C-alpha cells in the first residue's frame, strides 16, 4: 500500500478478532479486492481493549459486496454500505470514501451528502481522528496508518482531528461529541487549540437532527464511562446544548452524576441498564420547575401538574434530542411514582410494589436522597417494607396514628407530637 510500507510492522492477535469480520475480509481479498478492518476495532485492539464492533473498509462497491455475501443487505441513503449478518453479529462493510463535493454542504459547511467513492488514502483522510484512521490488513497481519500520525498519537494518548478543526467541525458538528466520548473512554487528551475550537463551534450542534443526537446521546452515556463523559461534556460546555434545563452545578447536577455513576457500575457488573433512568435524572429539574409553577401560579392539583409538566418538559426536549416513547414513558412513570412513594398506609404500598416501574422509582428515590434531598425516612421505610414479612408489612401500613388521634384529648395530642420526630 502506497505510503504505508515504511510503517513498522505491528501485529494483532487474531484470536481477539471476530471470526465473522475475518471471514468477510478473507472472502473479499480472495476475490481480488482490498479489505481492511478499520476504525474503533483496530484502535481498541491496539490499546488492549475489547472492541464494540468490527467495521470493514474495502474498494469493492456495496453491490459487489452484496453479490459476494448472500447474508448481506445494502443500507443507507446518504452513503450506501453493506451489512453482512452472521447470526446476531453484523459486520459493516463500507466502500472507501473520497472527498465530499463542496456543493453538497449547507451554508455553514455541514455536509449534506457524502456519497463519493474514493481511494484508500482518501478514505483515511475523511475519517475523524488520526487514531480512528488505522487499518488492519488481516492477510499480511499489518497495521496501515494513512495519516502517518495515528500510531504515534495512539502511543501518546492524544486525540487529534485529521485536517483543519474548524472545517471538520463545520462539516459534522457531532465530531465534537465524539471527541468528548473518546477522551473519556480512552483516557486520551486533546490539545488546547482543539478545546478552544470546540468552545467556538459548539453552537453548531443546533443543526443536528434530533434523531441523530439521540443516537449520539446513547453512545455518550451507555458505554460504561458515562460519568467521565458527563464531566467532560460539562467542561467543554456541550451539556447545555443537549439538555438545556439541566443546571451545571447544584443538587440536580449531583443527582445526574449519581445516576451516571450507578449506570457505569451496573454496566461493569453486566447488569441491565435503561437510558430511561438517565433521562429521568437529566430532566428532573425542568419537570419540577414546571410542576411547581403549575401548582403555585396556575392552581393545578399535584397530579394534574405532574402530567402537564412531564408533557411540557418532553415536548421541549424532543426538539433537541428525540427521545423515543419507549424511554420517555418509563421516565415519566419514574417521576409520577415519586409522590406516590409517600403513600405508606392501607393497600397502596402493596399496589405500588407490583408496579412495573417500582424498582426504578425506588432507585431514583435513593439517588435523590444521595444527592442531598432529605428523604432518609421514606427510603428506609421502602427498603424495610420490600423485604419485610407479611405481619411486619401489615403493621407498617396500618394507619395507627390516625386511629389514636381520634381518641386523644387536645392535651394528649400535644404531648405525643412532642415525643415523635417530624416525618420527612
Which residue of this chain has its Cβ atom nearest to ligand ATP in the complex?
40
In the block, which residue shows the cell 437529566?
282
Tell me whether residue 88 or residue 356 sits nearer to ligand ATP (CB atom).
88
Q: Which of 38, 40, 132, 369 is in the footprint of Mg ion by CB under 5 A?
A: 40
Q: Is 236 in the site for ligand ATP (CB under 6 A)?
A: no
Q: Please, what is the minimum distance in Å from the beta carbon of residue 175 to ligand ATP?
A: 5
Residue 172 interacts with which of ligand ATP, Mg ion, none, CB < 5 to 8 Å by class:
ligand ATP
The Cα-based distances of 352 to 20, 269, 357, 392 in angstroms read 47, 28, 9, 17
Q: Please, what is the minimum distance in Å from the beta carbon of residue 38 to ligand ATP?
A: 6
Is 53 noted as a catalytic residue in this protein? Answer: yes
Sheet with strand 81-86: strands edge to edge: 72-75, 81-86, 89-95, 55-58, 35-38, 135-137, 142-144
Best CA proximity match to 133, nearest among 217, 55, 244, 20? 55
For 168, the grid coordinates are 471538520
Q: Is 286 in the site for Mg ion (CB under 5 A)?
A: no
d(CA 342, CA 111): 52
Instruction: Give me the torsion for CA of 292, 297, 299, 302, rounded to 10°.
Output: 0
Q: Is 333 in the site for ligand ATP (CB under 6 A)?
A: no
Q: Is 45 in the site for Mg ion (CB under 5 A)?
A: no
Is 128 noted as a catalytic residue in this protein? Answer: yes
Q: Is 46 in the site for Mg ion (CB under 5 A)?
A: no
Sign of CA dihedral 200, 195, 247, 356: positive
Number of residues that bind ligand ATP (CB under 6 A): 13
Which residue of this chain has its Cβ atom nearest to Mg ion in the complex?
40
- Within positions 21 to 40, which residues make up the interface with ligand ATP, using CB under 6 A? 39-40
- Within positions 147 to 186, which residues make up the interface with ligand ATP, using CB under 6 A? 172, 174-175
Residue 307 interacts with which of ligand ATP, Mg ion, none, CB < 5 to 8 Å by class:
none
The one catalytic residue in 34, 128, 153, 264 is: 128
- Which residues lie below 8 Å from residue 356, measured CB to CB, with a gap of 6+? none
Q: Would you please indicate which residues are annotated as catalytic (active-site) residues?
A: 53, 55, 128
Amino acid at each position: 500500500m502506497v505510503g504505508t510500507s515504511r510503517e513498522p510492522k505491528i501485529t494483532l492477535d487474531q484470536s481477539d478478532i471476530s471470526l465473522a469480520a475475518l471471514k468477510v475480509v478473507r472472502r473479499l481479498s480472495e476475490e481480488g479486492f482490498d479489505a481492511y478492518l478499520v476504525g474503533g476495532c483496530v484502535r481498541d485492539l491496539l490499546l488492549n481493549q475489547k472492541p464494540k464492533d468490527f467495521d470493514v473498509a474495502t474498494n469493492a462497491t456495496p453491490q459487489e459486496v452484496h453479490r459476494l455475501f448472500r447474508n448481506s443487505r445494502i443500507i443507507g441513503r446518504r452513503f450506501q454500505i453493506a451489512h453482512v449478518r452472521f447470526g446476531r453479529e453484523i459486520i459493516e462493510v463500507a466502500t472507501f470514501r473520497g472527498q465530499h463535493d463542496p456543493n453538497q454542504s449547507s451554508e455553514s459547511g455541514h455536509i449534506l451528502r457524502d456519497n463519493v467513492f474514493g481511494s484508500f488514502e482518501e478514505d483515511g483522510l475523511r475519517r475523524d481522528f488520526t487514531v480512528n484512521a488505522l487499518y488492519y490488513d488481516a492477510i499480511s497481519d499489518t497495521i496501515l496508518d494513512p495519516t502517518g500520525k495515528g500510531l504515534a498519537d495512539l502511543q501518546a494518548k492524544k486525540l487529534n482531528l485529521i485536517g483543519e478543526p474548524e472545517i471538520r467541525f463545520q462539516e459534522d458538528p457531532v465530531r465534537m461529541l465524539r471527541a468528548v466520548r473518546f477522551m473519556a473512554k480512552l483516557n486520551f487528551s486533546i490539545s488546547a487549540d482543539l478545546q478552544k475550537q470546540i468552545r467556538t463551534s459548539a453552537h453548531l450542534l443546533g443543526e443536528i437532527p434530533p434523531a441523530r443526537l439521540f443516537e449520539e446521546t446513547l453512545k455518550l452515556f451507555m458505554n460504561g464511562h458515562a460519568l467521565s463523559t458527563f464531566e467532560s461534556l460539562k467542561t467543554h460546555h456541550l451539556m447545555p446544548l443537549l439538555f438545556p434545563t439541566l443546571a451545571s452545578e447544584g443538587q440536580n447536577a449531583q443527582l445526574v452524576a449519581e445516576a451516571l455513576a450507578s449506570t457505569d457500575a451496573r454496566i461493569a457488573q453486566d447488569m441491565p441498564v435503561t437510558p430511561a433512568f438517565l433521562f429521568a435524572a437529566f430532566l428532573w429539574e425542568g419537570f419540577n420547575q414546571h410542576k411547581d409553577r403549575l401548582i403555585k401560579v396556575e392552581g393545578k392539583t399535584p397530579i394534574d401538574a405532574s402530567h402537564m409538566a412531564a408533557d411540557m418538559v418532553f415536548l421541549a426536549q424532543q426538539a433537541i434530542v428525540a427521545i423515543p416513547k419507549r424511554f420517555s414513558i418509563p421516565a415519566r412513570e419514574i417521576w409520577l411514582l415519586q409522590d406516590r412513594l409517600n403513600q405508606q398506609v392501607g393497600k397502596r404500598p402493596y399496589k405500588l410494589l407490583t408496579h412495573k416501574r417500582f424498582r426504578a422509582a425506588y432507585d431514583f428515590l435513593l439517588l435523590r436522597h444521595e444527592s442531598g434531598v432529605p428523604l432518609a425516612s421514606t427510603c428506609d421505610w421502602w427498603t424495610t417494607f420490600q423485604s419485610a414479612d407479611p405481619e411486619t408489612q401489615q403493621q407498617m401500613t396500618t394507619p395507627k396514628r390516625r386511629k389514636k388521634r381520634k381518641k386523644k384529648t387536645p392535651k394528649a395530642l400535644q404531648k405525643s407530637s412532642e415525643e415523635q420526630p417530624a416525618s420527612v
